[in-house]
Amino acid sequence: MPGVDGVPEPHTGWTFVTNHARVLASIADDHNARIRDIAARCRLTERAVQKIISDLEQDGYLSHTRKGRANHYRIDPSKVLRHPAEAGLTVASLLSMLVRDEVERQGAVEEVQAES
């Protein structure tokens, strides 16, 4: 959640999913998302999201086109992940895993709410 000055509360400690993966997944969910919305969803600053998008574009994982005042993002699903331990794993397979997890979590939340 945003702090007093609108900047998301920082997270301390390590996490399993990188900020780059979070931003990519957020864009995969909405190809027209604003940086402000991506930042809020990922609990990052807008500046951090801009840097991550720049990284992803520079390495060919992501591109964008301007539509009026908005951006439309395109993800290259065939691009292979960077780490040697993930050799052969594509962006599409990563996003598929993240989406599957999100669907399962949403189902669990709805199930708990139905039981209440």
The model carries a pTM of 0.76
- At 2-49, the pLDDT tens digits run 454 555 666 677 888 899 999 999 999 999 999 999 999 999 999 999
DSSP letters spanning 8-76: BPPPPS--SS-HHHHHHHHHHH-TT--HHHHHHHHT--HHHHHHHHHHHHHTTSEEEEEETTEEEEEE-
**pLDDT > 90 in the chain, percent:** 57
pLDDT beyond 90 at 108: no
Phi, psi for residue 62 in degrees, rounded to 5: -145, 145
Per the model's pLDDT, the better-predicted residue between 93 and 103 turns out to be 93
